[in-house]
Amino acid sequence: MGEKRIALAAPEQCTGCGACAKACPKQAILFRDDEEGFPTPFIQADKCVECGLCSKVCPALNSAKSEPIRQAYAAQILDRDALKDSTSGGLFTVLSREIFRRGGVVYGCVWDEQYNAVIKKAENEKEMKPMRGSKYVWSWAGDTFPEIEAFLKAGRTVMFTGLPCQVAGLKNYLRKEYDNLYLVDFFCGGSPSPYAFHEYLKTITCDVPLDRLNFKFRDKSKHGVGVHISYEGKNGRIHQSYVRNPYFFSYHTKVFHRKPCYHCQYRYFQRVEDLTIGDYWGVGRFHKEFDIRAGVSTLLVNSDKGEALLASIRDQLQLSPTRVEDIALGNNLTLGDKRVEFHAPAFRSAFFATIKTRGWTAAERKFLFNKTRLKLWLKQRMPDKAVSAIKKILRRRG
Ligand SMILES: Cc1cc2nc3c(=O)[nH]c(=O)nc-3n(C[C@H](O)[C@H](O)[C@H](O)COP(=O)(O)OP(=O)(O)OC[C@H]3O[C@@H](n4cnc5c(N)ncnc54)[C@H](O)[C@@H]3O)c2cc1C
């Protein structure tokens, strides 16, 4: 047999959406973890019939159809209990409730028992609640694609929520527009390595096992909306800012994102989804009318379907029209600005190598106790006056 001519996306391009494996009529594509712990597809040559469907549906090789943003809003759910539990303004909950009211199915991300982030379906509020909360880890969506297609063909309303590359993967996989499908994505600052996350988890699960950890990335309960982590510790619940928490600090250095995140083609003004949700960082500069500490979302409307869905949930939201440019000021990495470089720090491969050979704590000590973190930490703990006094002294000392 001659050499196979079918090529999947290169590892630097593959987002791991799973569309290729699910589209393959011979189930010839399997996934295995690469050296950074990202599941990556490979073709079993003996099963491949070279139909080429895998590369046709790949959102890295073929950009999914996109539309320009039509309208932008600042938004917050009126239900205060749901708002407390949501990452930003609670739009995901409002949208899900509308889909359930129509007898539909919602897809979103939950933790499994081993703290892997996976996309699952929910048919009611109880099943939807664990989807709330951003999980800053790469998530597996692929298994849901055939199920979604079956629901759509049976005439059921479906809302898929996920990261932009996952939505693009689903859209390419379906290869057909469905009136009963709503696609919703989130601004995404990058999808981190599940391996790195689990190595970090090992350092905090010595006293409290995984099933009692209740790990939350964006806990508003103590400090309001922001980037605070919380989890159960030996002596009660631990709350940490993103600077204090080594995993969340690493996320902000972009050290362990999946490789294509650094040149993501889905983070611009052209959107592949009906609606896009994000955090409205800096909203106070433009909208004084919101309770900002409770969390405000941005909502981008990108299609007729998106407009119609918004019309049916308006009464459950505090909603103010806003400017895309103002949103982009606080979210320039995830929305639009091609001048903003999104690159990995120089120590990316050394960071992974150190975790592999000496564990998370050694990697943290070697790469994450740096000047930037110290400065941020001081800034968070001290009033501005004290920070500038220290800076002055340091400058004098050279
Ligand atoms: C990895 C990641 C990076 C992000 N980066 C940014 C950013 O840079 N800027 C910004 O403004 N917003 C970012 N967000 C989105 C933001 O944190 C909120 O999720 C969003 O504002 C929704 O708010 P909400 O109150 O409606 O969310 P919630 O009600 O808390 O719902 C969270 C939603 O996110 C989905 N979700 C959670 N984790 C994952 C995951 N790992 N994979 C796929 N879907 C997931 C859930 O299914 C649910 O639909 C990011 C989210 C994730 C998961």
Question: Ligand 1: which of 78, 87, 220 to mutate, judged by most atoms within 8 Å of the beta carbon?
Answer: 87
**How many domains is the chain partitioned into structurally?**
2
* The dihedral formed by the CA atoms of 81, 83, 87 and 93, expressed in degrees to the nearest 10: 90
314/373 same-domain check: no
Q: Does some domain include residue 307? A: yes
**Which residues are bridge partners to 76 per DSSP?**
318
140/159 same-domain check: yes
pLDDT number for residue 297: 97
- Give the residue, by CA position, lying nearest to ligand 1 atom 53: 134
Q: Does some domain include residue 15? A: no
Q: Does some domain include residue 43? A: no
261/325 same-domain check: yes
Of 330, 355, 386, the position where a domain reaches its end is 330
Q: Does some domain include residue 178? A: yes
85/185 same-domain check: yes
pLDDT at 68 over 60: yes
Q: Please work out, in degrees rounded to the nearest 5, the angle formed at the alpha carbon of residue 197 by the alpha carbons of 191 and 201.
A: 155
Match 């902000």 to its residue by tokens: 252
136/267 same-domain check: yes
Q: Does some domain include residue 26? A: no
Distances (CA, A) of 190 to 154, 333, 398: 34, 10, 36
For the record, the structure tokens of 293 come out as 């500490």
- Give the residue, by CA position, lying nearest to ligand 1 atom 16: 278
143/291 same-domain check: yes
Mean pLDDT of 99-124: 98
Average pLDDT, the chain: 92
166/290 same-domain check: yes
Separation of 43 CA from ligand 1 center, angstroms? 31
Q: What percent of the chain has pLDDT over 90?
A: 82
Q: Does some domain include residue 9? A: no
The range of the structural domain enclosing residue 371 comes to: 195-254+342-397
Question: Relative to the CA of 89, which ligand 1 atom is closest?
Answer: 25
Q: Which of 274, 253, 277 is nearest to 335 (CA)?
A: 277
Separation of 47 CA from ligand 1 center, angstroms? 37
238/357 same-domain check: yes
Q: Tens of pLDDT along 295-348? A: 999 999 999 999 999 999 999 999 999 999 999 988 877 776 666 668 899 999
Q: Does some domain include residue 50? A: no
pLDDT at 219 over 50: yes
Q: Tens of pLDDT along 243-285? A: 999 999 999 999 999 999 999 989 888 899 999 999 999 999 9
Q: Please work out, in degrees rounded to the nearest 5, the angle formed at the alpha carbon of residue 184 by the alpha carbons of 83 and 152.
A: 120
Q: Does some domain include residue 41? A: no
